[in-house]
Structure 1
Amino acid sequence: MVLPMLNPTTPIQQSDCTTQSCGSGTEQMNHLPEAIRQKIFDHPCYSEQAHHFFARMHVAVAPACNIQCHYCNRKYNCANESRPGVVSELLTPEQAVKKVLAVATAIPEMTVVGVAGPGDPLANPQRTFSTLRQVAEQAPDLKFCLSTNGLALPQYVDEIVRHNIGHVTITINCIDPTIGAHIYPWIFWQHKRIRGAAAAAILIEQQQRGLEMLVERGILVKVNSVLIPGINDEHLKSVAQVVKAKGAFLHNIIPLIAQPEHGTYYGLTGQREPTPEELTTLQADCAVNMTMMRHCRQCRADAIGRLGEDRGAEFSLERLETTTVDYAAAMSRRQAFQQAVAKQLTHHQVSPAAKLQFIPIRQKPLAGSPPPRPIRMAVASKGNGLVNEHFGHAKEFLIYEASQQGIRFISHRHTELYCVGNDTCGDKEVVLENIIQLLADCEVVLCARIGFEPWRALESAGLLPNNEHALEPIEAAVMAVYQERLKATQLAQFTTGCKIA
């Protein structure tokens, strides 16, 4: 089954997701109306499930910005930093179209083209809409999205609808102008530069109005919020409540990036970044009111590939000069890929809450036995929703939590490569120790393969390596390991109870 493209003007019944267990993965897909399921099936940013399979491309055609953020420093010729606002090559609309066709021909899993900077797409409306209009003419099977700070959003909602842009991300960091004054030093509004709380008040009003207008027109809206410790951390709970009430589909709370070498105001003034624990806790608190996105990688404005990878270097303008494009064949391959993914998802569909069944050792639990506790697991994966990465080759670990309520995705965590070649594999004790610290709150590490030395080190640190579920779907593997550990715990309790009796 190939899921059809939808007209973004079609009215959509927004999902009602108000529990902590609700996320953007399997559980979300199960309870959503069919119209929305079709819109996010192959969009890696709007579905945790889709990000395992599908790729996106950001075209860097929007250099100007109409606001200044203390966490932002745009760079137009940078290959070394992985953060929003950074690009290697600034493109004209014509160059962008040529690049999109080449990428979509080479990468059949690419389904989405977005404009995310390096400035604000709606501060560059002619370049943004010209690019998407030309892409639509030559690649009609691709989805469109854009990211914006929202200042100019109400003015361009009709254009967004006209250009068949079905997904829009708005960065909303606050709903209180006094807090906004600490985040935004100025905005450029109606040909004037405005500063302080007055500037933040205008920005907030425009963001909220734009959000309402998009939802009224059936466009899916994701809200990004940068978590800035000591400034908006507690306040983001209120943001989640407001954007949920106004119909936003997802809330993506992302950690502040404030490293001095990036040259941002926060980086140069010592504003600290949040810890992973702070981020996870806030996401859990906000999930009571709003569906959370937890698989964001804070992509560059010229990112290409699946989330967590960047294949931009393969498609430089210089290389495109010798690239041959057969887009009709590319569309056929993409259709076949989507059919294969739909078949795979149907075959491996897992509803953790429904399938995760506690198999007791006894008919009745032992008197005084504690309830089964959640277990966190780190998964090494290189895509397709499978446990399919060697421990030593993992660039990141996906963190899942299994409990009696089901399985939920927690976060991703970047890491250095433990194994970088035959001569050095196993010699990097410092890297291994860093990985162990990174996964300190986990109990199991699922991977396709793992060497003896890292196995022994993980085990000594209380992390159980497991490669018995290689090439299995992640959720099925996590579920199986949880059940195994649950049975072992119950058996140990039963044996102890028998001895006491």
Structure 2
Amino acid sequence: MASFVSLDSLDGTTTADAMRRALATPGCAASACGSAAGPGDLPAAVWDRIKDHPCYSEEAHHWFARMHVAVAPACNIQCHYCNRKFDCANESRPGVVSERLTPAQARRKVVTVANEVPQLSVLGIAGPGDACYDWAKTKATFDLVRNAIPDIKLCLSTNGLALPERVDEIAAMNVDHVTITINMVDPEIGARIYPWIFHEHRRWTGLEASRILHARQMLGLERLVARGILVKINSVLIPGVNDAHLPAVHAAVMARGAFLHNIMPLISDPAHGTHYGLTGQRGPTPAELAAVQDACGGGARLMRHCRQCRADAVGMLGEDRGGEFTMDRIPESVAYDPSARDAYRDVVARERSDHDAARRAAAAVLDEVEAEVPVLVAVATQGGGRVNLHFGKATEFHIYEASTSGVRFAGVRRVEENYCRGGWGEDGYLDRIIAVLAGVEAVLCAKIGACPAQAFEAAGLVVTDAYAQDYVETAVATWFAEARGRRRRAALTA
């Protein structure tokens, strides 16, 4: 199995040089699932806890990877959007796994990944059931991994029903990042999402089930916050069910001290066999998702870069290298070697300094622009916070809002597959990519062929590789300023 980057460089470069090159390789796919807050926006102690966590820090997703281990298959609730029996190796959806692991297998796998993927900073348990309900396996896994890799961050995801009684143990294990999925604070709405729960040795249905779930979720959140544990709330946006209700959910969880709120779209493909998929419940459009996120914003921390990861995901957000680390490829005995991760962090520290300077330069560029209506710009990126991905290789685009007040990350839009497959582009597929990018004014990428460039131009979209390898904020700000300058000059000569 090939390493992410060889530390035994054959061309005379140092380990740090090799790690720096890693930031510009496809394995560094950038992602987005966390707060945009940086070191100047948070207390130092809080920033230190999230700065390397790609799901809790939007900035960290440029540099660091997560890993989920599927050790907790048992679940205590049924959601209308979930079917854990379905698995496709090419699919990214919560609850989906290809291999369920024992705690001992999970330890071997995590150590192997840590040795091969120097970006790894976080180990999470997100099921495929519920980490707090299947607690013995969750706890055993964390204990084994912590003993092997003392500096790895531990986090878990839960529906919250079994959470309140686990808070003391969670705190004792130094698990200081917990995600709770909370889709409602009104049991009437909850009854449309959850057909049943299993609590206190019996099954509950209807309004009573939702009342119990709601009370337990709020209690668990309050207890975690009281123990100083950072809590991220996931909410699934279900059009016609809880879309208008999510601002109330946002207000309730923020009032109880949640650190971050992630509103993500319902996935309801009929092929998945979920209740919603089989009954025709649609997911939201990108515009509908953005509207609800904006309604919940109001200055509070709102996550816009979530990838709705599989329960066995490995790698940077937006990629999944799990297929490289199936158990048949994991050694029976493996020792942890921290050298790769240590060297990578040294490189990231320097790159972050450069990136900060680029952000300041972008702000200076925008200071010279006269007031304009904000526009959306799509960026093809594979990590390091740069415009560094060929258009034809992109399976997702990072969306930034550019205005005279700054460059703001606005979310991620995925496409079904990348345009170039097997070296050939499919013209019909361009129409679907253009539809995904509705409302976007420009696309910045590292390279693009003549045919797709012409198609974008015909659709009224600007596409350019003039900013290849630039930091994203600098590229977006410069394009915005130059485009506005051209527009003003054209108006004067008209």
Normalized against structure 2, the TM-score is what? 0.90
Q: Where does residue 406 of structure 2 map in the other structure?
A: 406
1:433-452 matched pairs, under 5 angstroms? 433-452=431-450
Does 2:459 align with 1:461? yes
Equivalent in the alignment of 1:34: 44
Aligned to 1:18: none
Q: Determine the C-alpha separation between the residues in 2 that align with 1:334 and 1:221.
A: 26
Distance in 2 (CA, whole Å) between partners of 1:177 and 1:37 is: 35
Correspondence for 2:15: none
Structure 2 match to 1:384: 384
Matched, 1:355 2:356: no
Q: Distance in 1 between matches of 2:209 and 2:286?
A: 31
Matches within 5 A, 1:311-330: 311-321=321-331, 325-328=334-337
Shift of the 343–289 alpha-carbon distance from structure 1 to 2, 3 Å rule, reads closer
Deviation at 1:356, TM superposition (A): 4.7
* Gap change, CA 1:208 and 1:385, over 3 Å in 2: same
| Cα-to-partner distance string for 1:220-277 (whole Å, 9 max, x where unaligned) | 1000000011111000000111111111111100111111110111111111111111
Q: How far does residue 421 in structure 1 lie from its aligned partner after superposition?
A: 2.7
Contact 1:469 1:477 in 2 (8 A): yes
1:72 maps to which of 82, 91, 103: 82
Q: Which one of the candidate residues 63, 66, 76 is aligned to 2:73?
A: 63
Instruction: Please give the secondary structure, in 2, of the residue aligned with 1:62.
Output: coil
Identity of aligned residues (%): 54
CA drift of 1:487 comes to 2.1
Deviates more, 1:486-495 or 1:229-238: 486-495
Could you tell me whether the CA contact under 8 Å between 1:241 and 1:289 is conserved in 2? no
Q: Give the 3 Å change call, closer, same or farther, for CA 493–30 of structure 1 in structure 2.
A: farther
What secondary structure is seen at the aligned counterpart in 1 of 2:98? coil
CA distance in 1, matches of 2:286, 2:87: 30
Query: 2-side partners of 1:141 and 1:320: how far apart?
Result: 22
Residue 13 of structure 1 corresponds to: none
Which of 238, 244, 256 is the matching residue for 1:246? 256
Q: Partner residue of 2:342?
A: 335
Aligned ranges 1:68-467 → 2 under 5 Å: 68-75=78-85, 78-288=88-298, 290-321=300-331, 325-328=334-337, 331-349=338-356, 350-351=359-360, 354-359=363-368, 371-415=371-415, 416-422=417-423, 424-425=424-425, 428-467=426-465
Which whole-Å CA distance do the structure 1 matches of 2:37 and 2:138 have between them? Answer: 34
Quick one: which amino acid aligns to residue 149 of structure 2?
Answer: A
Q: Distance in 2 between matches of 1:289 and 1:178?
A: 29
C-alpha change, 1:352 and 1:441, in structure 2 (3 Å) is farther
Q: What residue identity is the alignment partner of 2:313?
A: A
For residue 76 of structure 1, report the CA deviation from its aligned partner: 7.3
Q: Deviations over 1:75-109 (max 9, x none)?
A: 37652432111100000000000000001110000
- My pick for the range that moved more, 70-79 or 205-214, is 70-79
* Aligned residue runs from structure 1 range 482-493, under 5 A: 482-493=480-491
Q: Is the 8 A contact 2:38 2:59 kept in 1?
A: no
Relative to structure 1, the CA distance from residue 355 to residue 159 in structure 2 (aligned partners, 3 Å threshold; closer, same or farther) is: farther
* Count of residue pairs the alignment pairs up: 459
> Take 2:438 and 2:286, find their aligned partners in 1: how far apart are those partners?
12
Conserved 8 A contact 1:26-1:351: no
Cα distance in structure 2, aligned partners of 1:77 and 1:320: 21
Do the aligned partners of residues 373 and 77 (structure 1) sit closer, same or farther apart at CA in structure 2, a change above 3 Å counting? closer
Residues 399-446 of structure 1 deviation map (CA, whole Å, 9 limit, x = unaligned) = 111001111111111122211133x23xx1111111111112111110
In the TM superposition, what is the alpha-carbon distance from 1:358 to its structure 2 partner? 3.3
Q: Is the 8 A contact 1:170 1:224 kept in 2?
A: yes
Give the match for residue 23 of structure 2.
Answer: none
In structure 1, what is the Cα distance between the partners aligned to 2:95 and 2:263? 17
The 3-state SS of whatever aligns with 1:122 is coil
- Secondary structure of 1:164 counterpart: coil
Cα separation, partners in 2 of 1:444 and 1:77, compared to 1, 3 Å: closer
Unaligned runs of 5+ in 2: 1-32
Does the 8 Å CA contact 1:76/1:118 hold for their aligned counterparts?
Answer: no
> What is the distance in 2 between the residues matched to 1:457 and 1:24?
34
Distance 2:432 2:222 in 1: 44
The aligned amino acid for 1:391 is F
State the one-letter code of the partner of 1:446: L
Displacement of 1:24 in angstroms is 4.4
- Relative distance call for 1:484 and 1:353 in structure 2 (3 A) is closer
Matched, 1:471 2:469: yes
SS of the equivalent of 1:491 reads helix
In 2: Cα distance, 1:342 partner to 1:434 partner = 39
Letter in 1 for 2:131: P
CA distance in 1, matches of 2:300, 2:94: 24
Q: Secondary structure at the match of 1:481?
A: helix
Over 3 Å counting, the alpha-carbon distance change for 1:181 and 1:462 in structure 2 is same
Query: One-letter code of the match for 1:421?
Result: G
Most deviating of 131-140 and 32-41: 32-41
Contact 2:132 2:158 survives alignment (8 Å) = yes
Equivalent AA in structure 2 for residue 433 of structure 1: D
Supply the AA of the counterpart residue of 1:341: V
Q: Which amino acid aligns with 2:420?
A: C
How far 1:27 moved relative to its partner? Answer: 4.8
- Matched letter for residue 475 of structure 2: A
- Contact in 2 for aligned 1:56/1:112 (Cα 8 Å): yes
Paired with 1:307 and 1:151, the residues of 2 have a C-alpha distance of: 27
Cα 1:43–1:474 shift into 2, 3 Å: same
- CA shift for structure 1 position 42: 0.8
Q: Give the letter aligned to residue 351 of structure 2.
A: Q
Structure 1 residues 26 and 224 mapped into 2: Cα distance closer, same or farther (>3 Å)? closer
Query: Per-residue CA shift, 1:340-365, capped at 9, x if unaligned?
Result: 112111122015885353326xxxx7
1: CA distance, partners of 2:235 / 2:155: 18
CA contact 2:362–2:477 (8 Å) conserved in 1: no
* Pairwise CA RMSD: 1.7
C-alpha separation in 2, matches of 1:205 and 1:48: 30
Map of 1:6 onto structure 2 = none
Q: Give the stretch that moved more between structures: 378-387 or 117-126.
A: 378-387
Secondary structure, counterpart of 2:432 in structure 1: helix
Letter in 2 for 1:126: A
Q: Which moved more, 1:127-136 or 1:269-278?
A: 269-278
Compute the displacement of 1:489 (Å): 2.8
Match of residue 14 from structure 2: none
Q: 1:487 to 1:26 in 2, by over 3 A?
A: farther
**Cα deviation 1:101-158 (Å, max 9, x = unaligned):** 0011100000000000000001111000000011000110100000000001110000
